[in-house]
Structure formats: structure tokens, C-alpha cells
Amino acid sequence: MNDLDSVQFSAVIIVGLLVFFYGGTFYISTRIGKKQENADGYMTAGNKIGFGISAASMTATWIWASSMYASAASGYTYGISGPIHYGLWGALMILFIYPFGKRIRSVAPKAHTLAEVMHARHGRSSQLMLAGSNVVGSVISLMSNFIAGGVLIAMLSPFTFIQGVIAVAGGVLLYSLWSGFRASVLTDFVQVMAMLGAVAIIVPVIFFAAGFPAVFESGAANLTPQQGNFFSSDAFLGQGAPYIAAVLAYAIGNQTIAQRLFAVREDLIKPTFITATIGYGAMVIGVGMLGVLALYLGFEPTDGDINNLIPEMAATYLPAILLAVFFIMIIGALSSTADSDLAALSSIMMADVYGQNIAGKGKANPKTMLLVGRITMVVATAAAVAFASLQLNILDLLVFVGALWGALVFPVLASFYWDKVTNKAFTTAVVAALALFLPVRFGWIPMSGGIGLIVDILSVIGIGVVLGLMAFGFFGIRVGKIVGVVAALVSAPFVIGFLHDYATLSASLVAYAVSTVVCWAMSVGQTERFDFALIRQRTGDFDDDDPRRDPTPEPAKEA
């Protein structure tokens, strides 16, 4: 067996691996590069990507370095059910969004971003709320992936963290800059093949190299009863339940998902999302099993830092050649998400900021849009490198963005189905939900007595909203309402008087509940109705002169 020091790569080997990976992806991107790129192609690749590329891209995008680290951390912390409570719910994010995705695509077949559709449906404030949260979320994601790359390179080579961050950022920008989303999705195929292949080899190799299955017996004493229980309530309440609450929020709030939704051929949305669900789940849960194995082994990560767990398990139990494969797997995971974030950011700046708000839809110049997209990529990369170098504590910002996405779920989804939802209802609902989320999440007010009871009641409503929306997506309004009401009633006895102690979970549920109640209350009495056919007219290609498109669209008329 190896220890971390003995298998640390030399500078030459690390440079060789990076050149192999980023040189290869750059070469692939040059194969599809066009001298005159097209603005719509740069954002959505013409809305007609096939199943193979789109399923690969969706899987690769949703898997980032943190997915693997966090799944293993969940296994290490919560025991044998830990990876399930991370990977399964993360996978279901993809699955539960697809029925909504089909609806979104049917009303806006040629859109580029979800925020662009919100502009067509409501107007500027709802668009900018969604676009703003997308920008912050993607920059955070970009920074996190660069940090993961920097940490890995610093751990396994003589290079420093900063040098690692710059190498990864430069590599991703190199192959993404010219062709944008088209390069992102094509390279995703190669990256996901590398990641999946690596997991298929590495997990069994570490399993046997570490002495399993015998260690399941000799190391059983290292697990607490909760860690050894597949139906652990600790794992569910600490990891699974908050994640379930976030399922719809992350899928709705993440432009990388929406971008692929608008790019895939419309009839292939369902198989694409189902394949990505299975691929993501199996891969992330599989890597998470390394955390379970570490727990049985009594493996202690350096400095107690759980983020060191996966690299150190790999360094300890893998021969050098497989450690190189592991390195490529992590670099592939973080690069595929980082290039998707760059493509998402550039689309938002191209379509939402320049296309809709600066030039105006009918007057936007596709060449200027491309320039805006490429400048966005360079600026976003530089900003993410700077933030990564400073190693800022972004937890509060991340929590805030997550809450904003949770508050947006019902108003966004309702806006695609319910013709009574207005811009005022949308905006007020989101702001009200955030206003209640913050004090609950950060403990600004004591949760004792009546306040705690109110939070618990709102949490019950939030549970009904989350499960009701999930059921609605697949089975329609009637089943959705029944599931929502039953879920709220069944959960009430277990939640009231108890859940306010779990701030992360209850705050998310409060955000769902408040945004839903406010949006519903402000919309239900409206007499004016929105014509969804207008969305198709108000969104569309920037490059052609489609005569069906309204050249000077007005913002949605609000009741």
C-alpha cells in the first residue's frame, strides 16, 4: 500500500496529466469550433442536441467535485445510509424537474434561460430576481470547483494551491471560450465517460485493497448504532430531509439545468433526464461508499478535515497509475461543472442583460452578444480565481442563494401553469419568503413558545408544498393537491413542537410555505388572465429573422 507522501506526483507528471486532460478537451472543442459562431448556438446549441450528448452533459454538469466529497463525508458521518441520503436526493432533483421541464419547453421552445422566460411571462423584476440568483449561484459554483482543483493539485504535487487554481481556471476557460455551450456539452461527453469509468474501477479496487469484505466484521465496532442502521433517523434528519427540501429549489434555480433543458431535442427530454438521474445517483453514491469504507476502517483524514477523506483514501489504497485516473476523475468532475457555469453565466449576460434589458429583444446584435458572452467568461473566471485565492467564507452567501431559489420555486412553477399569477404576486411572494427565512435560518429570533409553533406550522405547509409540487409534476393538479394535503396532515403530529430545532430544514420549508401562500393569495382573486402563447412570441432566436417573432415585444401585461 501507499501512503500520501510516497505517491505524490512530481511536477512533470502533474503538468503532463493537466496537459493531457485540458489539451484533449481543447482539441475536441476545436473540432466543432466555427470561425463565425452563432449567438443562439453559443447559448443552446440550436435546441436540437441528441440523447447521447445531452444525457452525458446533464450527468457531467450535475456532478461536481463537491458532490463526491460531500457524499463520502455523508457516508463517513452518518454511516451506511449516508451516501443514499446525499446521492439519491441529488439524483431526484434531476428527475423531478423533468415534467416541469417539458411544460417549460412547450411554452418557450426557443428560449435560452429561465429568467428570459420570466421576463416574457411577467416583466423585469421577476426576471432579474432569477437571473441575479443564477449569477451568484454560478460564480459560487465556479469558485468552489476551482478551490477543489487547487486543493487536489496542492495535495498531490509540489505545486501550490494558487497555482492549482490558476491551472484549472485557465484550462476550463481555454476550451470553453470560443464555442461556449457547444464546447461545454461536447467535452462533457468525454469527461463523463472518464468519470464513470474511473468510479467503476476505483471503488472496487479500494474495496479489496483495504481488506473488505472482512473489514465489515472487524471494523463494525467503529460504527455507532445509528451509523450502522440503514434506516438511521440521524442520517435522514441531518442529511436527507434538508436535501429533499432543496430538491426543487436547486433544479429550478440552476441555469445549467435550464440551459440543457432548452438545448436537448424536445422529444428527448424524458430519456435524457431519467438517464442523468440514474448516472448521477450511481456515481455519487458509489463514491460516497468510500466514506462508509473509511468509517469501517477507522480512517482519520489529516487534520480531521473531512474534505481530505477521498483524496487520502485514494492515495492510501490506489497504485500510482490508478491515482492518476482518480486525479483525472476529480479534474473532470470539477471542469465539467465549471464549464457549464461559464456557459450559464454567459447566456444570462447575453440573453437577460444585453438581449432583453440593454439592446432590447428585437434590436440585439448577435455579434455583440457573442462578444458579451466571451467577455463574461473571462471576467467570471478572473472573479472566481480571485475569490478562490482569498478563500472567502461563502457559507452565508450560499445559504442566502439557496433560500432565494427555494422562495422562487412555487412562483416560477405556478407562472408556467396558472394564468392568474402576476408579477406583483411573484415578487411579493419571493421577498416575503426571504424575509421570514432569514431570521429562522440564522436564529435571529428565539424559537421558543408561539414563534416556534408558527415556524412548525409553516414547515408543515412547506412539506405539503414540496411533496404536492413533486406529485403535481408527474400526475397533475388533482393528485398534487391530494398529496400536498395528506403530506401536511400526516407530518403535522411529528413536526409541530419539534422541527423548529432544525434550523436548516425548517427555514427552507418556511421559504416554500410563505412564497406559496402569498403568491396564491395575491393571484387567486385576479380576473385578468395571461395568454401563454405570448411567451413563444416573446422568446426565440436572436440570430435569424423569424417572421413569427414579434420584433418589438412589450413586457407582459399585468393584472
Partner 1 sequence: MTTLALTVYVLVWPLVVLIVMGVIGRAFFAEWREARRSGQDLI
User: What distance in Å separates the CA atoms of residue 109 and residue 255, rounded to the nearest whole number?
Assistant: 16
Say which residue the cell 434550523 belongs to: 503
Closest CB to partner 1 among residues 195, 413: 195
Within 186-225, the residues that bind partner 1 by CB under 8 A are: 186, 189, 192-193, 196-197, 199-201, 203-204, 207, 212-214, 216-217
19: CB partners within 8 A, 6+ apart: none
User: What distance in Å separates the CA atoms of residue 79 and residue 239, rounded to the nearest whole number?
Assistant: 11
How many CA within 13 A on the CB side of residue 180? 35
In the complex, what is the shortest distance from the CB of residue 288 to partner 1, in angstroms, rounded to a whole number? 8
CA-closest candidate to residue 230, choices 95, 104, 88: 88
Answer yes or no whether residue 286 interacts with partner 1 by CB under 8 A: yes
What is the C-alpha R_g of the chain? Answer: 23
In the complex, what is the shortest distance from the CB of residue 18 to partner 1, in angstroms, rounded to a whole number? 24
Q: What does the chain come to in residues?
A: 559
Closest CB to partner 1 among residues 199, 353: 199
In the complex, what is the shortest distance from the CB of residue 312 to partner 1, in angstroms, rounded to a whole number? 19
At 508, which helix (H) or strand (E)?
A: helix 503-523
Site string for partner 1, 60-79 (x = CB under 8 A): --------------------
User: What distance in Å separates the CA atoms of residue 246 and residue 476, rounded to the nearest whole number?
Assistant: 21
Answer yes or no whether residue 55 interacts with partner 1 by CB under 8 A: yes
Closest CB to partner 1 among residues 4, 201: 201
Compute the Cα dihedral for 502, 508, 514, 516 and give only its sign.
negative
Return the range that interacts with partner 1 (CB under 8 A); candidates 46-54, 121-129, 169-177, 336-344: 46-54
Q: How far is CA 83 from the centre of its chain?
A: 17
Return the range that interacts with partner 1 (CB under 8 A); candidates 110-118, 275-283, 477-485, 527-535: 275-283
User: What distance in Å separates the CA atoms of residue 357 and residue 218, rounded to the nearest whole number?
Assistant: 64
Within 533-552, the residues that bind partner 1 by CB under 8 A are: none
In the complex, what is the shortest distance from the CB of residue 271 to partner 1, in angstroms, rounded to a whole number? 9
Site string for partner 1, 146-185 (x = CB under 8 A): ------------------------------------x--x
Say which residue the cell 395568454 belongs to: 531
Report which DSSP code applies to 10: P
CA-closest candidate to residue 346, choices 249, 404, 259, 251: 259
In the complex, what is the shortest distance from the CB of residue 319 to partner 1, in angstroms, rounded to a whole number? 18
The count of other CB atoms within 10 Å of the CB of residue 533 is 9
Among 4, 32, 162, 490, binds partner 1 (CB under 8 A): 32
Answer yes or no whether residue 298 interacts with partner 1 by CB under 8 A: no
In the complex, what is the shortest distance from the CB of residue 257 to partner 1, in angstroms, rounded to a whole number? 18
Answer yes or no whether residue 320 interacts with partner 1 by CB under 8 A: no
- Total chain residues near partner 1 (CB under 8 A): 42
In the complex, what is the shortest distance from the CB of residue 189 to partner 1, in angstroms, rounded to a whole number? 6
Within 361-400, the residues that bind partner 1 by CB under 8 A are: none
Indicate the residue type of 27: Y
In the complex, what is the shortest distance from the CB of residue 212 to partner 1, in angstroms, rounded to a whole number? 7
Among 117, 143, 237, 293, binds partner 1 (CB under 8 A): 293
- Burial class from Cβ neighbours inside 10 Å (0-12, 13-18, 19+) for residue 426 reads buried
Residue 495 three-state SS: helix
User: What distance in Å separates the CA atoms of residue 231 and residue 82, rounded to the nearest whole number?
Assistant: 10
Answer yes or no whether residue 292 interacts with partner 1 by CB under 8 A: yes
Residues of this chain that interact with partner 1 (CB under 8 A) are 32, 45, 49-53, 55-56, 59, 80, 182, 185-186, 189, 192-193, 196-197, 199-201, 203-204, 207, 212-214, 216-217, 230, 275, 278-279, 281-283, 285-286, 289, 292-293
